[in-house]
Amino acid sequence: MIAFVRYSRWAFTVYVAVVLSCVSLKAQTKSIPHNDQRYTLSISSLRLAPGERVVGFEVEVDSGRIVSAPNVPIGWNLTIDNAPSWSTKLTATVIVGAAALDAGFFRNFAVVEKSSLGGVPFAVRCEVVVTKDWVNERHIQVEQRDLVLRRTAK
């Protein structure tokens, strides 16, 4: 009987801790600003050398998140890491050579959301990996002037 009472007290304590954690989490979630703005992301000018194909890319967003990648090509691995730090990343790599992309893929290739977080400026960075011969890769840091954000309706 004493063991049952000790177990019951322990179980009750754990139950109360879980309930309080859930209530606290719900309160924190309500405090996240909801005046977010969504944008389609494009690369206006990606300069590839003759014979180069895209074999990977990465997009990083500060003070926002990756909402979606609407046209994931067949033969690609794509990972979206929407970390709770509001510094998020989309990483994509080709699985088979025949699935390598041309520069035209990067028209409205992702949807990002800008969040209103105090002190952290909204920023988008992009790197594209290309190759001609599947041995040597070239990493292109896309210039800010070549990133196009167009506001969308939620």
Question: Parallel, antiparallel, or unpaired for β 110-114 and 64-68?
Answer: antiparallel
Phi, psi values for residue 35, rounded to 5°: -100, 40
Q: Which CATH class is domain 37-151?
A: mainly beta
Tens digit of pLDDT at every position of the chain (154 positions): 454 445 456 555 545 454 445 444 444 444 444 457 999 999 999 999 999 999 999 999 999 999 999 999 999 999 999 988 888 999 999 999 999 999 999 999 999 999 877 678 899 999 999 999 999 999 999 999 999 999 997 6
Of the candidates 69, 67, 145, the one whose C-alpha atom is nearest the C-alpha of residue 105 is 69
The amino acid that residue 79 corresponds to is T
Max Cα–Cα distance, the chain, nearest Å: 81
φ and ψ at residue 107, rounded to 5 degrees: -95, 115
Q: What is the pTM of this model?
A: 0.75
Please state, in angstroms and rounded to a whole number, the distance separating the CA atoms of residues 108 and 72.
12
